[in-house]
Amino acid sequence: MITTSRFSLIAAGVALACGLGSTAARADAVAQAILDVTNFHFALGNGSNVRAADGSLAPRLNLATLKGTTTADATVSLNGANAAGSDSQNDPLAIAGASATTSLGNAGSYVPGAPLAGAPVATYGASTADQFGNSLFGVSDALTDGVVSLKPAGNGSTQSNVNFNAEFTITVQDGTSIEIAFDAESYLRAYLSASGIGSPTARASTTWSITITSVATNDDVFAWVPDGLGGNGGAGSAIFGGVEYYDPFSLNQNATALSPASSKVRTNAKQAFQAETNALVGGTYTVVLSQTAVSDAFLKLPEPASLGLLGAALFGAGVASRRRSKK
C-alpha cells in the first residue's frame, strides 16, 4: 500500500519531470521610475514666493561669457544584453535640448512617461531621457523614465539621466539673487508576483539636485536637494545658500519590493517647487543640474532541465521508499 507521503513524492516527481511545476514557479516583476519636471526656469529673485517672470534674469547675464551644455543618456540591460543612447547640445541659447530613448525586448507598448499599471504582459526594458527648452531665457521641461518588465523571469536594469551645465556671468546691482522654480510629478513602482527561484527584487528610484558654484573661489554658493520637508520660506534641511518657498515632496526617493507577492507604489501629483539663492556678488558662476531615474528587477525560474532532474529525484525517492516498505 502506498502511503500519502510516498504518493505525494511520486506525484510531485511526475509533475516536475513533465514540466508541470513551471506554472507554480512562475514569477513576474515590474520596476519603473518616472520624474517629470516642467515649466522650469532661472529668474531674477524677488524675495517672495510669487513666481518671478520668465526670462527676468536675462538682462543681468553677460551673453559673451555664457556657455552651456545639455546632455541626455538612456541605458538598458536585459538578460545579458545591453543598449544605450545619448544626445547633447552645447548651445544654451537654443530651444532644442537633448533626447535619448533606448529599449530592449518586447517594448512595443512602452510610452515614455506613462505608468505601467497592472501585471506585466511582456519582457522588456526601456529608458527615456528628454530635455527641451531654455531655462535661462524662458522655461524648459525634462523627463526621465526607466521601466523593467519581466514575464515570467529574467533580470534587467535601466538608467536615464538629464544634465544641464551652464557657466554665466551675473552683473549685480545691490546684490542679485536667482530664483529656481518648476513643477514636478513622479511615479515609482516596484512589483513582484509569485516567487521564483532565488531572491526576487524590484527597485525604482529618482534623484534631482542643483548646485551653483563660484568660478573665482571654486566654492559652492547654493545647493538644493528637495526632500519634501521644507518650503516655508526658511533655510530648510535640503538647501544651502538660499531659502525654500515650495518643497512639497521629495524628488529623491525610492520604492523597493524584496518579497514575493509584494508591491510598493509612490505617486506624487504635479506640484510647484520654488527656491531662491542668497544675494550673489558679481562674477562668474557655474550651474550644475542633474535629474536621474533608475529601475532594476531580478527574477529567476528553474530551467526546464532542472525541473526534470528535480522531478526525477523526487520520483526516485518515492519509489525507493515504496520498495523499502515492501521488504
Whether residue 197 has pLDDT greater than 70: no
pLDDT at 123: 94
CB atoms closer than 10 angstroms to residue 80: 8
pLDDT at 173: 67
- Alpha-carbon distances of 234 from 224, 239, 242, 276, rounded to whole Å: 13, 9, 8, 10
Q: How confident is the model at residue 237 (pLDDT cuts 50, 70, 90)?
A: confident
Q: How confident is the model at residue 205 (pLDDT cuts 50, 70, 90)?
A: very high
Q: 220 Cβ partners below 8 Å, 6+ apart? A: 211, 212, 213, 214, 240, 241
Most confident of 59-68, 131-140, 218-227: 218-227
pLDDT at 235: 66
Q: How confident is the model at residue 97 (pLDDT cuts 50, 70, 90)?
A: confident
CA dist 193 and 172 (Å) reads 58
pLDDT at 64: 79
Q: How confident is the model at residue 94 (pLDDT cuts 50, 70, 90)?
A: low
CB 9 within 8 A of CB 111: no
In tens, the pLDDT along 264-286 reads 999 999 999 999 999 998 888 99
CA dist 239 and 234 (Å) reads 9
- Alpha-carbon distances of 268 from 103, 144, 176, 178, rounded to whole Å: 25, 15, 33, 26
Q: How confident is the model at residue 324 (pLDDT cuts 50, 70, 90)?
A: very low
pLDDT at 283: 87
Core vs surface per residue 198-221: b (16+ CB within 10 A) or e: eebbbbbbbbbbbbbbbeeeeeeb
Percent of all residues in the chain with a pLDDT value above 70, rounded to a whole number: 80
pLDDT at 29: 94
- Interval 247-261 mean pLDDT: 94
CB 285 within 8 A of CB 221: yes
pTM surpassing 0.75?
A: yes
- Interval 236-259 mean pLDDT: 93
Range of lowest pLDDT (31-45, 102-116, 144-158, 304-318): 304-318
Q: How confident is the model at residue 147 (pLDDT cuts 50, 70, 90)?
A: very high
pLDDT at 226: 96
The residue that leads in pLDDT, 163 or 182, is 182
CB 167 within 8 A of CB 285: yes
- Interval 86-95 mean pLDDT: 81
CB 63 within 8 A of CB 147: no
For the beta sheet containing 140-150, the strands, ordered from the edge strand earlier in sequence to the opposite edge, are 98-105, 124-133, 140-150, 29-44, 178-192, 262-277, 242-246
In tens, the pLDDT along 13-67 reads 433 334 333 333 457 999 999 999 999 999 999 999 999 999 999 888 887 788 8
